[in-house]
């Protein structure tokens, strides 16, 4: 699914393919995922980001891991949701 990643309201990564997983553990929902970028320097593991998905869901994320993919030159970024993953209402 396409998404964009923001920091303090500014787009850091746009039009990126994101894999999101939502599961329930002990009655609580948790969500996490990953995406790949060519230039990971804009993403700091100490910052909290906003993710906005193409299906109008959004939430806060924390980068948990960045790893260079051998051969492709892309960096795989893994993250965990730090709150609810909410769907934005549709304006009528």
Task: Please report the domains of the chain, with CATH numbers, ordered by start residue.
Answer: 2-87 (2.40.30)
pTM equals 0.87
What local confidence, expressed as pLDDT, does residue 12 receive? 93
The mean-pLDDT minimum among 53-57, 74-78, 85-89 falls in 85-89
Residues counted in the chain: 92
∠ Cα 5 57 42 (to 5°): 5
What local confidence, expressed as pLDDT, does residue 60 receive? 96
Query: Bridge-partner residues for 13, per DSSP?
Result: 5
Residue 18 reports pLDDT greater than 90: yes
Residue 92 reports pLDDT greater than 80: no
Average of per-residue pLDDT across 4-22: 95
């Amino acid at each position: 699914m396409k998404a964009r990643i923001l920091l303090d309201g500014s787009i850091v990564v746009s039009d990126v393919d994101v894999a999101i997983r939502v599961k329930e553990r002990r009655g609580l929902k948790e969500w996490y995922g990953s995406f790949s970028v060519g230039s990971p320097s804009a993403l700091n593991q100490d910052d909290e980001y906003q993710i906005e998905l193409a299906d109008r869901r959004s939430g806060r994320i924390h980068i948990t891991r960045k790893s260079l993919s051998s051969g492709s030159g892309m960096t795989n970024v893994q993250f965990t949701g730090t709150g609810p993953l909410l769907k934005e209402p549709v304006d009528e």
